[in-house]
Chain A
Amino acid sequence: SSNEHKLNFKKSKEACLSYIQDALLQKQWKRAAEFLTCYVESLEKDYSREHVGPSEMIWRIGTEILWHHSQNGMKEFSCFMEQMKTLGVKRYLKVCLEHVFHLLCNGQIDEAYQNLSLAESWRFGEQTAIQDKEMKLIQAYRGLLDYYSWSKQKNILLDHGEDGFSDLSVEQEMHGYFRKAAVNLKEIIKIPGVWDLFVKCYVDLLEFYGDHNEAHQVLNEYAYNSKFPANPNAHVYLYQFLKRQGESKKSLISALKILHDIVPSHELMIDFNTMLQKSKKRKKRRLGLEVIFAALDYAGWKENAKAWNCLARQMKQIVISEKYLDWIKQEWNSRKDWWPAFHFSRYLAKRNWQENKSLSYEKALVAGILLGKGCKYFKYVSQQGCKAQLKRFRVLKKFVNRHNPVYLRISG
């Protein structure tokens, strides 16, 4: 006989869970609470074979409900979290950590710090070793909060300025925070992962105390260690650091190279192209052209006058020198099918002219070179420009007319 339809404890609770899920998705907190009340007795039954047991369910669902719909605010929330901590030893640190996050979101920095310290001192036999990762995270976040305190003290010091003596205690405190923060931040960034905020803070500390070597090493590791996941920000941080340190163009360029590979549309591509354009090395200049073309492939750059300016400048240079026209040809090959409609339509010509004359100027130059003097964009803009008696547009017109054969060579 088929007893599959028989209603039993397990099925009843499964149904209960799906009602909770529906209610949560529709943000019906009261209803979710209603069903959760009926679900909690699952705790009395053992589900250790299941992947996610009732205690975890209740923790996560309860957190959601209380976060959005609590009558007594954070007090009730914290009370609930404390209960959840006792529910599952295997999850203790995780619950602590999430509790801390909620406290931080609520602006309760001090409570968060207290909880972190408490969690850090937790020991529970072999669980301590098993939950090693969570422990590291807890220490890392405490380090972060220590950095935050350090930063506050630093600002106090800077505000007071010359008044050195009475700030000795502040200074000492500040150093204390530095030491605590540094230790923990250093530890966490050793583990492969994405630690943007931690890295930034740590580097900030190191720079303040003048340990540039360490900072450089840290950033290098973060950007180039293959064990770490590819992270554009890592390269950005490194670049910014090197710039601050006044490093050579060569090292700056190498810092941005991978960024270009990962995120060709990054805003730093303008800086990158600018540096590359000016390089004496042919390869670098070639790369520069590639970089700027790649950036302008993205819709977000369409109206960026500076970017167009970079491209225009470089292309003008190439055209005038009549060397390396094949570079332009190469870049244009894969774009000639869609760039005209994407950038150089008549509609865009009108709009650009109306909204941003500099933009239209740069674009017209590029269009003129790539598509010849007969292209709609160039024609319209140069016409308008000349009508408006703007000198540079006349110059532009002349230039393009003079170099029209170039277009033929490019497009051919």
Chain B
Amino acid sequence: RDFNERCAQCSEVNWGITDGGRFYCRSCHNVTERTREVVNTDCITNSRVQTISKGLRKQEKNDGGSEWYICEGFQLVLKKQVEALEALGVCPQMKDEVLCNFWRCYLQKSKQAYCKRPAGEAVKALSVCESSTDVDSDPEKPSLLHLLSLSESEGDLQTDCSFASSMSKVSESTSVYSGSVDGSLYLMKNQKEKLRMTMPMTLSFCYMALLWVREPITLSELLRFVVEGHIPYLNVFQHFPEKMKLCGLDLKIFCVESWPVYEEVFNQMHELAAFLDLPRFPDITESCFLHPDMLCMKYLMEANLPDELHNWTCRVVKKIGIGEVDFLTLMPGNKTTRKVKYDVLAVAVIVVVLKLLFLLDDHYEWLLSELAEERNKNNTEVCIFYSGGPYFEFKKWYEVVKHSLDVEQKKLDEERAKYLWRCEKPLFYSVKNKSKVLKRRQMVVNLQNQFGKLSGSVQCAEKPNPSSFQLSWSEEKADGSCFHGHSLKGILQEKRGLLTARNPDYWLCTVKLCNEKLCGHLAHYREVEFPQSYHFVLGLFSFLLRVQPSYIHDEVCMIEHKLFNKKLCKKTKIQHSPKK
């Protein structure tokens, strides 16, 4: 109905569709080779998108597979992911009500489904079934190599080139670029315009949904669960049904060979929220897990710091207004408000508090520690008991935490070196190299068995249970390695009824913030320019959150800016004015 070309034979514009899905001229019954693709608006619980015209979809292909579209694939991925989240304890509404709707909305907005004409591009689609045999071949038809390079997934140049060259040998008319119907089309589409779906973006979807229902899972935790294997991501295509054959360009889309980074997922989530025209998200209030007060408590515990520090984090939060509902709640599309990274923010607050109380200039904190040590020596057990815990000694804390951190970091590094990226389901670009791929796979399995036996270690079949805490400290251990109950008395003083820090100084991470839009950062973190203690603290939280220290450093700078900027401005004004 939307096809407006003139018929080659009779020059009329009066088209119908045959059972085979081709256009035919009602006037002269000339059948063209043009096909039409329409996507149905069936219910999403039936995860296959079906066509209106019967018989358009060829059920049977040579290899027992059937046609499938890329978005179906992603839908399956999302389904698996959200089911995993449910297994972790997330409320079921997230799947049925929240994520489902987000996905539907996305499909609609990106014109892949639920709309009248899903693809003016459909006409140009390089589908597996008959494609256009028009004499004038589409000049815009991109080369296969170009398509391969468009995808973010890392391939090996050799395989790409050999695939491309083997494909070009195939005749122009039929092209078996991908197992899916629209694999090549998918890669061709302009990324920026319609926010093309990628594997990392599935996590953005998940995070967005989690944020909407305000589940107590931070983005860093989500990503950690992904890496630990609790949430399907790597090799999730294993769970595609048999009929959905993956090959060729599909691999570029669905096979990941890198773990997504916080920044990437975070930024994409916001782009997505704006793209979907979502309204203001549900409020993040003080009772929410994602509120800085709550998260600070969590991270303080995990970092083995005294509970008393929580008062201080709350004070800082209040002072700079980052505990306000309007600050914390996401307003998609609003470019003026800063996007809140809840976990990084909380951790940065703790860092600032530590700087406030301990200065962290590689001198003062050790001095305070010595003083505390003295006091602790002099006090008897009874005294300690009554005065609410021993004096907090920075030195002891550093030693204990550093030790544990080193152990965990070492474990993590080894795990990283031992990741297995491939899975049982073999991947091949084309049917041609299938046998080669299978042979290789067999060899790999043999070698793994052979050397696995030699290594003697029993491969742990069960992955450890997902936990929110990576480091845990117990007060029951008598060795004094838990600092939660320790007191900050030694470093505080009372002034006009208010507790303040003994430490009168503070050093700013940066005097002036960078323009984020220009260089992408608020500040630039170079290890050598900052005290070791600061570096250590950043390193600790960097490990817990699995982000780069510079990422946290940026946030610290932001907080310091909010905290001190007015004072700084005043100072410079005072300095300048008397000269007049």
Contact = CB atoms under 8 A, between A and B. Distances in A.
B261 interface: yes
B454 A33 contact: yes
Contacts of A86: 443
Q: Would you call the interface of chain A mostly helix, strand, loop, or mixed?
A: helix
B444 interface: yes
Given A43-B440, A45-B156, A3 B261 contact: yes
Contact of A7 (B258, B414, B422, B454): B258
Contact of A16 (B154, B418, B453): B418
Contacts of A37: 447-448, 451-452, 455
A39 to B, nearest CB: 9
B569 interface: no
A1 B448 CA distance: 37
B259 A8 contact: yes
Contacts of B158: 46, 48-49
B257 interface: yes
Contact of B159 (A5, A9, A46): A46
Most chain-A CB neighbours within 10 Å: which of B154, B451, B457?
B451
Interface string A1-37: 1110111111010011011000000000111011111
A261 interface: no
Interface in A69-114: 69-71, 76, 80, 83, 86-87
Given A8-B257, A46-B159, A41 B154 contact: no
A62 B258 CA distance: 27
Contact of B443 (A6, A30, A87): A87
B446 to A, nearest CB: 7
Nearest to B445: A40
B417 A16 contact: yes
Interface in B206-220: none
A10 B264 contact: no
Contacts of B452: 33, 37
A47 B443 contact: no
Given A10-B154, A38-B418, A44-B441, 16 more contacts: A1-B263, A9-B421, A12-B416, A12-B417, A12-B421, A15-B413, A34-B457, A37-B455, A40-B448, A43-B440, A45-B156, A47-B156, A49-B157, A65-B454, A66-B454, A87-B443
A58 interface: yes
Given A41-B422, A49-B158, A6 B451 contact: no
A34 B448 CA distance: 9
Contact of A30 (B156, B261, B413, B456): B456
Interface in B184-222: none
A313 to B, nearest CB: 64
B450 interface: yes
Nearest to B447: A40
A140 B126 CA distance: 58
A399 B459 CA distance: 85
B453 A58 contact: no
B443 A83 contact: yes
B362 to A, nearest CB: 26
Contacts of A9: 154, 257-258, 421
B241 to A, nearest CB: 23
B154 to A, nearest CB: 6
Interface in B486-514: none
Contacts of B548: 2, 5
Contact of A71 (B259, B454, B520): B454
Contacts of B414: 19
24 contacts: A1-B520, A2-B548, A7-B258, A12-B417, A16-B417, A19-B414, A34-B418, A34-B451, A36-B455, A37-B451, A37-B452, A38-B417, A41-B422, A41-B448, A44-B437, A44-B440, A44-B444, A46-B159, A48-B156, A49-B157, A58-B447, A62-B447, A76-B450, A87-B443
B420 interface: yes
A1 B264 contact: yes
Interface string A45-62: 111110000000010001
A18 B418 CA distance: 11
B281 to A, nearest CB: 24
Identify the 8 closest CB pairs spanning chains A and B, nearest first: A8-B258, A34-B455, A15-B417, A33-B454, A33-B455, A9-B257, A46-B156, A16-B417
B200 to A, nearest CB: 11
Contact of A35 (B157, B417, B437, B450): B417
Could you say which of B157, B437, B447, B452 has the most chain A C-beta atoms within 10 Å of its C-beta? B447
B385 interface: no
B454 A30 contact: yes
A41 B456 contact: no
* Best-surrounded residue of A30, A46, A62, A86 (most CB of chain B within 10 A): A46
